[in-house]
Amino acid sequence: MPPRRIVILTGAGVSAESGVPTFRGPDGLWEGHRVEDVATPQAFRRDPVLVQRFYDARRAALAAVQPNAAHRALARLDALWPGELLLVTQNVDDLHDRAGSARMLHMHGELKSAWCTACDRRHPWEGGLLDAPPCPACGLAGHLRPDIVWFGEMPYHMDRIEAALLAADLFVSIGTSGNVYPAAGFVDLARHAGARCIELNLDPSMTSGRFHDSRLGPAGALVPQLVDELLG
Ligand code: NAD
């Protein structure tokens, strides 16, 4: 029987062909920085200037990149798939959004969002945060931080994601190394619940052995191929 309920997980690899560097590139760094220095709450407390500057640069760099064939194929699947579908991305870029995916959750937050730690509100954000702009809601300056889930913080939307994984009959993981939990454990949850599990990745990942089918290659080629298979 063809699958009806699909959950798709994407990671940094889906944006690599757009020119967005992955996280654990060949040097194990994120854009030249150790993750401990830019992606933890401790790093932000220790050196807020470095951390704000880092995310301001990542946010500004989005203007120079475009969705690629993999983002576009997933948006096509979203538009045409008659059953349930949820795209869960670990990515903080906005390339799935710009490609047109609608049934989508950013589990690790978004570069183009700012979170006020004074009033707890979140705001769409295009500019920088380094110069401590005031919060549009409460007016206090110096309390906006990148709306990014750092290591040690709780990913967003976990209740909805887990419910979708438990109900899925197909789980697809694309361009993720399987190093970062809880996302790396999604395959176990979906498989245990009876879903067929397919991985698309450039290289074997930490979790390849847990999938029924692991296909190696660039997302820009493998994702459109899988979407064509699914849409028949
Ligand atoms: P990762 O960088 O740890 O792993 C990327 C994976 O993608 C690797 O397994 C690699 O082999 C694969 N890959 C590289 N190029 C590919 C291609 N063209 N096609 C298919 N696969 C390819 O990424 P992760 O597992 O997503 O974990 C990184 C964390 O860092 C995430 O939580 C994310 O929030 C953050 N991050 C986000 C971005 C982004 O938003 N684009 C970029 C870097 C890091």
Task: Look at residue 35 in the predicted model and tell me its pLDDT.
Answer: 87
- Structure tokens belonging to residue 131: 């110069």
What number is the average pLDDT over the span 71-80?
A: 98
pLDDT of residue 1 exceeding 80, the answer is no
Is 108 a residue of the active site? yes
Catalytic residue, candidates 108, 123, 143, 192: 108
Answer whether 172's CB lies under 8 Å from 7's CB.
Answer: yes
* Closest to 18 (Cα-Cα) out of 109, 96, 75: 96
Q: Of 2 and 64, which is predicted with more confidence?
A: 64
Query: Which of 8, 13, 7, 6 lies closest to 205, judged by CA?
Result: 13
Model pLDDT, residue 32? 86
d(C-alpha 133, C-alpha 174), whole Å: 36
By percentage, how much of the chain surpasses pLDDT 70? 97
User: 126: pLDDT confidence band, cut at 50, 70 and 90?
Assistant: very high
pLDDT digits (tens, 9 = 90+) for 20-62: 999 866 666 888 888 889 999 999 999 999 999 999 999 999 9
The string of DSSP letters for 152-192 reads: TSPPTTHHHHHHHHHH-SEEEEES--S-STTGGGHHHHHHH
The strand pairing partners of 142, in sequence order, are none
Tens-place pLDDT, residues 174-207: 999 998 999 999 999 999 999 999 999 999 999 9
Ligand 1 centroid, distance to 29 Cα (angstroms):
12
Atom of ligand 1 nearest to the CA of 15: 41
Q: With CA atoms as reference, report the closest residue to 126 among 190, 56, 24.
A: 56
Pocket lining: 31 vs ligand 1, CB cutoff 6 Å: no
Residue 41 tokens, joined: 């709450």
Measured between alpha carbons, how far is residue 189 from residues 89, 142, 178, 193, 207 in Å? 17, 40, 14, 6, 13
- Structure confidence at residue 27 (pLDDT): 66
Centroid of ligand 1 to alpha carbon of 205 (angstroms): 11
Which residues on adjacent β-strands are paired with residue 7? Answer: 86, 171
Distance (Å) from CA 66 to ligand 1 centroid? 16
